[in-house]
Amino acid sequence: MAAATRTAVDASGVNILSANGPGSEQSVPHLHFHVVPRWVDDGISTWPAGRSERRVPGDPRLLLADALTSDGGFLGGRWTLRTGVHRSRGSVP
């Protein structure tokens, strides 16, 4: 998608963005992506200009790893992110 977009509109780059949930300003309540062609000095910034005022108690990296690897999480408890080991198959090449 990115390569086709760059070619079609002669862009020097592409941002592919997705917002998920009301806190992210998602305007359409289903999975979708915005494909934004970019050019050097186009006046658009896709990165936040400041830091969120919200503070998460604990280490966000560990909280995310736990959420992904828990039995009810996205990976269904099958992966150990810290080691790359699949619980039912052993080491992952």
pLDDT tens for each residue of 3-21:
999 999 999 999 999 888 8
Strands 13-17 and 34-38: antiparallel
| Neighbouring residues of 37: CB distance < 8 A, sequence distance ≥ 6 | 5, 6, 9, 11, 13, 14
Which residue(s) pair with 80 in the sheet? 85
Structure tokens at 72: 């009810």
Give the pLDDT of residue 66.
82
Question: How far is it, in rounded angstroms, from Cα 71 to Cα 89?
Answer: 16
Q: What is the per-residue pLDDT across 26-70, written as a single tens digit (0 to 9) for each?
A: 888 888 888 999 999 999 988 878 888 888 898 888 888 888 777
Structure-model confidence comparison of residues 71 and 24, the more confident one: 24
For tokens 């979708």, name the residue: 32
Q: How many CB atoms lie within 10 A of CB 46?
A: 9
How far is 47 from 66, CA to CA, in rounded Å? 26
Quick one: pLDDT at residue 78?
56
pTM for this entry = 0.59
